Amino acid sequence: MKGCDAWEELEQKMERVMPVKAALTLLEWDNETLAPEEAGSLTAKIQGGLAESYHQMMTDEALKEALKRCEACAGAAERGLAGAEGSGDETGGSTADGLDQEEVRRAILREAREEYDRLSRIPREEYRAYQELTAKSARVWARAKESRDFSLFAPVLKEVLDYQKRFAGYQAKPGQKLYDVMLDEYEKGFGMKELDEFFRMLKEELVPFLKQVQESPVRIHDGFLTGDYPEDQQRELAEYLAGYVGFDFRRGVLAESAHPFTTALHNRDVRLTTHYSEKVDSSLFSVIHEAGHGIYEQGIDDSLTQTLAGEGASMAMHESQSRFFENVIGRNEAFWVPVYGRLKEWFPEQLKGVGRDVFVRAVSRVQPGLIRTEADELSYSLHILVRYELEKQLVEEDLDVEELPGLWAEKYEEYLGVRPEHDGEGVLQDIHWSQGSFGYFPSYALGSAFAAQMYAHMKKVMDVDGLLEAGQIEPVREYLREHVHRFGKVRTSRQILRDMTGEDFNPRYYVDYLKEKYGKLYQIQT
């Protein structure tokens, strides 16, 4: 596509769209962190205006023409390549360790085409009405959650779901199921066929294993994790840990928000948030998790950043990186060998008499509970299993939303052995459905499974635990940058996983990883 006029035109158009996208990102971040309480509705107007500009620019006729002409160039280039084998530098300017620039251009073109199609298939009026509805439904959800009453939320949830089904219908290819369309939006190549199999394996293996863990006579002492951990020290420690695992503070910042998250304007401005809590492990692992997301964004290649392909490959791939740092590295005794002494310097009183092994066991304890965001590593994916099964029923079997609280409670009892006493700690706990994010949840579990597969592979090519023990995280992080981060959206998550591990996605690694780690901790023969 190099030398194609249309490509330059597309690039120019994108250079006008991307700043609007960045401004929206920054406003979202600001809303969650620094914006004053009363900013709400007026800032929402700014966001609405910007979102509309973005929509207009991305569905513009001239953009459509540029896309068509670029696709023609790309097609011609491919045919040319096929006909002229070994014709040298036709692939266009890849350097020894940089990305193939022709592959980059194709990825940007593909992303722009998908975004154009996605937005232009939804009638503008409906799109606006839906934006208003989700702004309202998030508020209704928050009120319902506070009053622990699902019936307040049910009518608006039904409306959001109806919109989502209609929108999925606009996007569906002939014969494609609606829930598959929704799943595809977050994770390409993982529809119900793949996910049914994945979740079936988790259900068959992890539900009984979790019961064995709960019946184990091993008791883990963790009382010292809750207590008087001053916020200022937690903040210093959070910065230390983020930096230690490799988050670059010259290219990023750390702030505070109720629900930790990460966002990026580009690879030199990556924003993390975390929270501080009297449960010190919650704050420690939340910052390591977000730093994992941040390291991913900082590692995206310079030739991709500020383009539509300059983000993480997918939701699950992003989550694989945060969970790799949080769980595979962070909940690993080797990691704490060089770090635990520092932790004790910050909290000498609180951790008095607590040895490193006791600390690591405590932060790895299994305690199935009702709240997904507080779940331990082992039971986490069972929270996702509940949501996956319910979403599928809502979308594919027209389950009445009124049935949700009852089914939710039954499934929690069956898979996790706990039953919510009210909707606030049950079906109302997550914001996702109020925002119309159906199909999002499975990426959390998939990400964990990707991380386990990567770990199994990396242990074959380097001594991961030995490096951690020696305080050398850099080679581990660099390996991930080289094989995952720098590609942004140039390759799909499936391709990245296959290129890195030499194998297609295989959830067996995840189940084995969990059984080995927690079997050892709870002395269960597996």
For the annotated catalytic residues, the residue numbers are 290
Minimum CB distance to Zn ion, residue 415 (Å): 22
* Nearer to Zn ion among residue 322 and residue 492 (C-beta): 322
Nearest to 429 by CA among 47, 418, 93: 418
Q: Find out whether 453 and 147 touch, Cβ atoms under 8 Å.
A: no
Task: Give the CB-nearest residue to Zn ion.
Answer: 322
* Nearer to Zn ion among residue 154 and residue 316 (C-beta): 316
Minimum CB distance to Zn ion, residue 510 (Å): 17
Minimum CB distance to Zn ion, residue 286 (Å): 9
Minimum CB distance to Zn ion, residue 384 (Å): 13
What's CA 146's distance to the chain center, in Å? 26
Q: Which of these ranges, 145-153, 186-194, 319-327, 451-459, lies near Zn ion under the rule CB under 5 A? A: 319-327
Q: Is 322 in the site for Zn ion (CB under 5 A)?
A: yes
Q: Which of these ranges, 16-24, 59-67, 315-323, 336-344, lies near Zn ion under the rule CB under 5 A? A: 315-323
Binding mask 441-470 for Zn ion (x = CB under 5 A): ------------------------------
* Nearer to Zn ion among residue 140 and residue 264 (C-beta): 264
Question: On the CB side of 329, how many CA atoms lie within 13 Å of its CA?
Answer: 36
Q: Is 327 in the site for Zn ion (CB under 5 A)?
A: no
Minimum CB distance to Zn ion, residue 322 (Å): 4
Residue 39: CB atoms within 10 Å: 14
* Nearer to Zn ion among residue 134 and residue 322 (C-beta): 322
Tokens 């699902």 sit on residue: 150
Q: Which of these ranges, 121-129, 204-212, 237-245, 320-328, lies near Zn ion under the rule CB under 5 A? A: 320-328
Give the residues across from 19 on adjacent strands.
none
What residues between 14 and 73 interact with Zn ion by CB under 5 A? none
**62, 119, 182, 304 from 125: Cα distances, Å:** 21, 12, 21, 33
Q: Which of these ranges, 228-236, 314-322, 340-348, 516-524, lies near Zn ion under the rule CB under 5 A? A: 314-322
Q: Find out whether 211 and 417 touch, Cβ atoms under 8 Å.
A: yes
Look at strands 269-274 and 262-266 and give their pairing.
Answer: antiparallel
d(CA 64, CA 67): 5
Minimum CB distance to Zn ion, residue 420 (Å): 24
Q: Find out whether 329 and 291 touch, Cβ atoms under 8 Å.
A: no
* Nearer to Zn ion among residue 314 and residue 322 (C-beta): 322
* Nearer to Zn ion among residue 67 and residue 454 (C-beta): 454
The helices-and-strands tally (H runs, E runs) of the chain is 21, 3
Give the residues across from 255 on adjacent strands.
273
User: Token digits for 226?
Assistant: 């809750």
Enumerate binding residues for Zn ion (CB under 5 A).
322
